[in-house]
């Protein structure tokens, strides 16, 4: 009997702490940087970016707090979309607070300034202590229970359309190309994450011309349910050609009070075909009141920001709910008809 009890205890301890039938996505407020936590129905996790360095570990503490709330004790994958401070800067502090399984990125920084190289070096020192995966367009990140497809990386994009993609894009004429972007932003790892019929995109800080390469003249992505506003809702990104072609039902903007959330980009998102709601981490002081979301859909409505998050909980049939941590505001969206 004692042996049976010991075996039962071992089995229970070996089971994942979190098991559910939904994909849960937490957009964590890191004050205008990015940090987005995906928790698969299998209990496996993927964090996209780690926020800023410094601030006594503020962003790392916020991420760990949300991970605990989500019922996970390790980060199976940490995707670094590109090597800017508001995306990769928090890695050293985060690695001190929670175990990390595999780092995923596009390889090396294209920026050569002393500050950029120092930032990249600090990341590599942590990355080299664990598993590391360099991805290219067309690759999959093997998060059990969801499909994570890389569509952009290292300045390149997929050439073959995803299922549901490939149709001519009538919005391309509204988004003429701009000057080439030589920065790390254009190197961003961009992903389409699917759980059954539910689809969400995260393109990091991918800039205008690289967005056009994905969807013009044909939209290689297809439609999505949730659009994480690219580049924190700045107008160097969020070209109408991509926002309109993706035809999202909901957009989430990971802006800060005065970082991101520009007038042009917020207007493009708010007026895109099929959009039902926009949810924001901060009231965007760079945009008009009309182009900000209604107050119940905003986590931080003034400069005195408190830690918070927006949560999307998706079912495999395409239905999902969105929740604002500040006020408990929750809205459900049924599957597409």
* Domain spans in the chain, listed from the N-terminal domain onward: 17-333
Contact 175, 265 (CB under 8 A): no
Residue in this structure with the two tokens 């044909």, named with its chain if needed: 218
Question: What pLDDT does residue 2 have?
Answer: 43
Position 16 pLDDT exceeds 80? no
pLDDT band at 19, cuts 50/70/90? Answer: low
What radius of gyration, in Å, describes the C-alpha atoms of the chain? 19
Contact 101, 131 (CB under 8 A): yes
Q: Give the span between the Cα atoms of 189 and 86, in whole angstroms.
A: 15
Contact 72, 101 (CB under 8 A): no
Name the architecture of domain 17-333: 4-Layer Sandwich (3.60)
H-helix segments, 73-180:
85-88, 91-95, 114-127
Closest of 32, 40, 114 to residue 283, by C-alpha: 32
| Structure tokens given for 45 | 């996790």
- Each residue of 202-234: pLDDT tens digit? 999 999 999 999 999 999 999 999 999 999 999
Q: Give the span between the Cα atoms of 283 and 303, in whole angstroms.
A: 9
Question: What pLDDT does residue 337 have?
Answer: 79
H-helix segments, 39-140:
58-70, 85-88, 91-95, 114-127
E strand map for 1-74 = 23-28, 36-39, 45-48
Position 18 pLDDT exceeds 80? no
Q: Give the span between the Cα atoms of 8 and 5, in whole angstroms.
A: 5
Q: What is the 3-state secondary structure (H, E, C) of 199-250?
A: EEEECCCCCHHHHHHHHCCEECCCCCCEEECHHHHCCCCCCHHHHHHHCCCE
| Structure tokens given for 243 | 């926002």
- Each residue of 74-133: pLDDT tens digit? 999 999 999 999 999 999 999 999 999 999 999 999 999 999 999 999 999 999 999 999
């Amino acid at each position: 009997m004692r042996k049976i009890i010991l075996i039962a205890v071992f089995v229970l301890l070996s089971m994942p702490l979190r098991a559910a039938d939904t994909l849960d996505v937490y957009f964590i407020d890191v004050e205008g940087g990015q940090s987005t936590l995906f928790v698969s129905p299998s209990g496996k996790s993927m964090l996209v970016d780690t926020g800023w360095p410094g601030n006594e570990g503020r962003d790392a503490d916020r991420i760990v707090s949300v991970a605990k709330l989500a019922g996970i004790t390790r980060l199976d994958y940490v995707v670094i979309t590109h090597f800017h401070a508001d995306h990769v800067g928090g890695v050293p502090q985060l690695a001190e607070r929670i175990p990390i399984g595999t780092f995923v990125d596009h390889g090396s920084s294209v920026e050569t300034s002393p500050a950029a190289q120092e930032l990249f070096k600090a990341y590599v020192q942590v990355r080299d202590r664990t598993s590391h995966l360099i991805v290219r367009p067309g690759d999959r990140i093997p998060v059990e229970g969801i499909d994570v497809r890389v569509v952009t990386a290292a300045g390149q994009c997929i050439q073959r359309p995803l299922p549901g993609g490939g149709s001519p894009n009538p919005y391309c004429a509204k988004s003429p190309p701009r000057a080439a972007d030589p920065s790390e932003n254009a190197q961003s790892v961009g992903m389409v994450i699917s759980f059954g019929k539910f689809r969400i995109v995260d393109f990091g800080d991918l800039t205008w011309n690289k967005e056009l390469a994905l969807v013009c003249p044909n939209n290689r992505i297809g439609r999505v349910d949730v659009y994480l506003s690219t580049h924190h809702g700045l107008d160097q990104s969020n070209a109408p050609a991509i926002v309109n072609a993706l035809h999202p039902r909901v957009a989430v903007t990971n802006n800060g009070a005065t970082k991101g959330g520009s007038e042009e980009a917020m207007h493009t998102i708010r007026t895109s075909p099929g959009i039902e709601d926009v949810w924001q981490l901060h009231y965007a002081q760079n945009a008009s009141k009309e182009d900000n979301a209604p107050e119940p859909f905003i986590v931080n409505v003034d400069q005195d920001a408190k830690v918070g998050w927006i949560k999307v909980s998706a079912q495999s049939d395409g239905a999902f709910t969105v929740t604002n941590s500040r006020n408990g505001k929750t809205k459900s969206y049924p599957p597409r008809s």
